Amino acid sequence: MKRFVLRGGSRAGIWVLLAMLMFWSLAPVAVMVFTSFKPRSDIFAVPTTLLPQTWTWDNYATVFTDSSMPRALFNSIVVGGLVAVATLIFCFSAGYALARYRFRGSRPLALVILLGQVVPLTVVLLPLYQFVSRLQLLDTTIGLAFAHLAITVPLVTWMVRNQIAAIPVELEEAAQIDGGSRFDAVTYITLPVCAPGLAAAGMFAFLQSWHEFLFASVMTSSTEARTAPVALTEFSNEFNVDWGATMAASVVLTLPIVLLFVLMQRYFVGGLTGGAVKG
Amino acid sequence: MAVKARTGIFLGVAGLTVAAIAATVVVNVVQNSSGDEDVVTWWVPDWDYQTAVDLVAEFERQHPDISVELVQTTGDTVANRTSVALDSGNVPDVITESIARVRGYADKGQLADLSGLFGEDIPADDFAPGLVDSLTIDGATYAMPYRWATNALIYNPELFEAAGIEEPPATWDEFVEDARALTSGDAVGTAWPVQGDPSDLTLRFLEFAVSGGATINGDGIPELTEESSRAAVEMIGGAIAEGWASPSSFELDNTGIRELFLQGRVAMYPGGVFDVDEAQAQGAPVATAPLPGPEGPGTGLGVGWAYVVPEASSHQDDAAELVRFLARPESMAELTLTFPARTSASEDARFQTPERVAYAGQLAEHSVPAPNDPRWTASIQPVHDQIQEVALGRETPAEAAANIQRIVDQAFAE
């Protein structure tokens, strides 16, 4: 009986802890969503209320009709898509080579690639700016996508390398014994097996690009290239912050990612943990 | 050996993607490289953009051999963009930048000397007092100011009348006494922007400190004393701790204070003229007065925006011509929401409304340019934190003043 009570108590404690963590995580999101439906008088009402006293779509109307946010969202999708595709192509090639080929310096090389992940973005900002500038790609979506590759490539290369290393090389050898080339072994064996991991890696790259602000704020300026996180700053000018529109734009910016994550959650979690344990 | 179907598709897709990326790069390089060599690029913030389009059309009509390309920036991104562009050497030809950041760029030799523009057409003494001097280092002037603003006291005359106060406060003692009398029910005497950009709070701190005896020297360096800092911290942090400044100050930025003022919950505060325009647009009761000082009018700190021409600009002559055009009083008046930097431009009817009289007087007689030394900029956050400690009741104003003195001395000793 005592053991049953103890077990029940610890389970209740875990649920309370989880509830607190959930509240901690979701409270700002709730404030963001409800503020986006508040008129200006409600946002600064005293005492503060979570729910709007009057619900309004005006902030969303401002976002979609009186700002560059629609175009910026399109730009974000273009940049994120380019980054995801390019990251997968480059990182699958690099990750495969690091996992399958043994050559002098392969391990130091892999470590050097990972170093890119620990260098602060502000440190690489200036060299990347000059690189993109020399390519005449400043203020273009493809130029920004190039810059974002500096963020995604190091970690994704390691993610993919671990995915491939976890697949027994004998599977590829069997395909080659059956008369296939190494390319055939990769496309018929390795790619399908690590597809969930690649989906996770692609989504990770897209996410990194989607919410990146520093590079986007420095390398883009016109509405033709400005991405959504930068467009968010339009609602704050020299003397005023339009909190309602800022929150509405934040919801618009967040919603597609939440939907994407919910749809691909299974692949994402599986892909990130795949290859973590070899056995 | 025959290539299997799936392998072919995989290689084809990968190859096509790489080729498409490469082709896009090549197209961009070719397009952007063949741009017009005689185009002056001007980085202009969002809020000036539409007016800038009209001004540029007029400029191009007057100067048919010069084309201007406008590139929009936003207030939150211009500092990073400008800094990186100047560091990289890949620069536009004219940048609209905050005056507070000009000295930092000039110290690194990144800005062109615009002294040659000042003279008969653009007399330096037509600008707000001390403004051109604050942008001049070793005889070279590195920016052309065009917008200038300072704080004045904004107050709600209906709340004053209800509290039996006939005149706005002219001294610190009156300010404190009135604020205490006005703190009643839902309303508080005043509020301070503890939340938001830390420079909003430290600007108010400096206004009190300068009014109380501190100075800002010709190099844009604040010369504080412990006594002036103590008095300033007492007026801000002490006021929150005592309750005649709103305890909500911890959650308020400038926008929040203005909104509470519009609701009649904050009776008075030092604020910019934009807030007055907004209150009038909302039909809220509003009046203005000079900032109170220890024994008379207090000192406001001037802040604003200017045009700079990067030293690395490849069109310096054309850029200077554009700046000369933008420095005309009529151009300044059009691009200004607060006050133009040139006194002659203030003659425009927009700047002569009754509510602006207090601001005009403050700017002309009781203001100094805000400090623009990068070492002060680096000290803003720790100074802000000291004021907050007093507001929270964790330090006395004297302790905070001593700490602020140490922070600033240390910053300028490095």
pLDDT at position A55 over 90 = yes
Are the Cβ atoms of B255 and A243 closer than 8 angstroms? Answer: yes
Which residues in chain A have their CB less than 8 angstroms from residue B259's CB?
40, 43-44
Cα–Cα distance, A252 to A116 (Å, whole number): 31
Closest Cβ opposite residue A142 in set B10, B28, B46: B28
pLDDT tens, B196-217? 889 999 999 999 999 999 999 8
Closest Cβ opposite residue B6 in set A86, A188, A238: A188
Closest Cβ opposite residue B263 in set A44, A125, A136: A44
pLDDT tens, B28-49? 777 766 555 679 999 998 889 9
Report the phi/psi class of residue A136: left, alpha or beta, with left for phi > 0 and alpha for psi in -120 to 50. left
Secondary structure of residue A236 in the 3-state scheme: strand
User: DSSP assignment, residue B3?
Assistant: P
The pLDDT value recorded for residue B1 is 57
Asked if the structure places residue A40 within a domain, the reply is: no
Q: What are phi and psi of B31, to 5 degrees?
A: -60, -50
Cα–Cα distance, A112 to A162 (Å, whole number): 16
Q: Which helix (H) or strand (E) holds A96?
A: helix A69-100
Read off the pTM. 0.83
Q: Which of residues 63-92 of B touch A (CB under 8 A)?
A: 71-77, 80-81, 84-85, 87-88, 90
Cα–Cα distance, B386 to B403 (Å, whole number): 7
Distances (CA, A) of B157 to B167, B256, B284, B298: 9, 20, 10, 20
pLDDT at position B352 over 60 = yes
Cα–Cα distance, A26 to A24 (Å, whole number): 6
The pLDDT value recorded for residue B355 is 86
Residue B120 burial (C-beta neighbours within 10 Å; 0-12, 13-18, 19+): exposed
The pLDDT value recorded for residue B265 is 93
Asked if the structure places residue A49 within a domain, the reply is: no
Question: What are the beta bridge partners of residue B305?
Answer: B98, B147
Cα–Cα distance, B267 to B264 (Å, whole number): 7
Q: Which residues of B236-271 are buried (b: 16+ CB within 10 A; e: fewer)?
A: bbbbbbbebbbebbeebbbbbbbbbbbbbbbbbbbb
Asked if the structure places residue A130 within a domain, the reply is: yes
pLDDT tens, A198-234? 888 898 899 999 999 999 999 998 888 999 999 998 8
pLDDT tens, A146-180? 999 999 999 899 889 888 988 888 888 888 888 88
What count of other Cβ atoms lies within 10 Å of the Cβ of residue A237? 17
Domain hosting A81: range is 67-273
The pLDDT value recorded for residue B36 is 56
What is the nearest CA distance from A165 to chain B, expressed in angstroms? 21
Asked if the structure places residue A177 within a domain, the reply is: yes
The pair of structure tokens assigned to B4 is 């299997």
> What is the mean pLDDT of the segment spanning B56-77?
91
Distances (CA, A) of B312 to A157, A257, B209: 39, 41, 39
Contact B126, B341 (CB under 8 A): no
What is the nearest CA distance from A130 to chain B, expressed in angstroms? 6
Lowest mean pLDDT among A13-22, A45-54, A91-100: A45-54
The pLDDT value recorded for residue A274 is 57
The pLDDT value recorded for residue A279 is 40
What is the nearest CA distance from B325 to chain A, expressed in angstroms? 24
Contact B278, B196 (CB under 8 A): no
The pair of structure tokens assigned to A32 is 């963001």
B51, B79, B52: which is closest to B68 by C-alpha? B52
Secondary structure of residue B82 in the 3-state scheme: helix
Which residues in chain B have their CB less than 8 angstroms from residue A135's CB?
25, 28-29
Cα–Cα distance, B191 to B267 (Å, whole number): 9
Question: What is the full DSSP assignment across B121-167?
Answer: SS-GGGBSTTHHHHTEETTEE--EEEEEE--EEEE-HHHHHHTT--S
Q: Which domains does chain B have, with CATH numbers?
A: 39-149+303-369 (3.40.190.10), 152-302+370-413 (3.40.190.10)
The pLDDT value recorded for residue B130 is 84
The pLDDT value recorded for residue B33 is 65
> What is the mean pLDDT of the segment spanning A239-249?
91
The pLDDT value recorded for residue B292 is 96
B34, B38, B35, B36: which is closest to B321 by C-alpha? B38
Helices and strands (H, E) in chain A, number of each type? 14, 0
Report the phi/psi class of residue B164: left, alpha or beta, with left for phi > 0 and alpha for psi in -120 to 50. left
Q: What are phi and psi of B104, to 5 degrees?
A: -60, -45
Asked if the structure places residue A148 within a domain, the reply is: yes
Q: What is the CA radius of gyration of chain A?
A: 24
Cα–Cα distance, B66 to B52 (Å, whole number): 16
Question: What is the full DSSP assignment across A133-152?
Answer: HHTT-TTSHHHHHHHHHHHH
What count of other Cβ atoms lies within 10 Å of the Cβ of residue A249? 28
Are the Cβ atoms of A237 and B248 closer than 8 angstroms? Answer: no
ipTM above 0.90, yes or no: no
Q: Which residues of A42-77 are buried (b: 16+ CB within 10 A; e: fewer)?
A: bbbeeeeeeebeeebeebbebbeeebbbebbbebbb
What count of other Cβ atoms lies within 10 Å of the Cβ of residue B17? 15
pLDDT at position B96 over 80 = yes
Q: Which residue has the higher pLDDT, A187 or B268?
A: B268
B386, B385, B382: which is closest to B401 by C-alpha? B386
CATH code (residue A110) = 1.10.3720.10
Which residues in chain A have their CB less than 8 angstroms from residue B76's CB?
217, 233, 236
State how many domains chain A has: 1
